A and B are shown apart, each in its own frame.
Chain A
Amino acid sequence: GAVVSQHPSWVICKSGTSVKIECRSLDFQATTMFWYRQFPKQSLMLMATSNEGSKATYEQGVEKDKFLINHASLTLSTLTVTSAHPEDSSFYICSAPPTDTQYFGPGTRLTVL
């Protein structure tokens, strides 16, 4: 299957700081990537769709000014959590579809102190 990577795999930051998470498609190009969030003991929830060369689209209830998405190339999308607070602590996962099937990254564990 296709390979999607994320960096970092985990990050701890202080409240009020910003954190950037990278999602890369390693062996294919992706004009579209997706960002999900997963709280403990819950399922994945789609946050936003990242589109190469254009603005991201956000799901209802997701603050676009807080979760900045940049899809600057066909292999890289970044999610920046701005002014992070403890309630933003979560598992963030990206996915990309080389064909009709989506492949997921390993996830990034964000802990905000």
Chain B
Amino acid sequence: DAKTTQPTSMDCAEGRAANLPCNHSTISGNEYVYWYRQIHSQGPQYIIHGLKNNETNEMASLIITEDRKSSTLILPHATLRDTAVYYCIVYSGGGADGLTFGKGTHLIIQP
């Protein structure tokens, strides 16, 4: 079973910030929080990951709570092309194991 819990769906207005929450209360000390998104009929796209510090890249920001039991992915200025299913995954890294996907959040950006 996936070790994360996400809302099934969310709406966000175009141009506004989209904040996607994820609960991972059983995360282990060596596990990272990864975010991917999947646009319809495409392979998942890597967005960002972090261990305990907040992270930012050209796509998004990742805010991880101090106890690491939850995190929030922030898309600062959502566009229609950001409509996708967003997956939050906890993973110990190293590249030796496959990823366990939950159901994700279907983010719909409204014009």
Contacts and interface: CB of A to CB of B under 8 A. Distances in A.
A36 B103 CA distance: 15
Given A43-B103, A46-B100, A32 B44 contact: no
A111 to B, nearest CB: 13
A107 B49 contact: no
Interface residues of B, number: 24
Nearest to B32: A100
A2 to B, nearest CB: 9
Interface stretch (B9-17, B65-73, B89-97): B89-97
A102 B99 contact: yes
Contacts of A105: 43
A107 B41 CA distance: 8
B43 A93 contact: yes
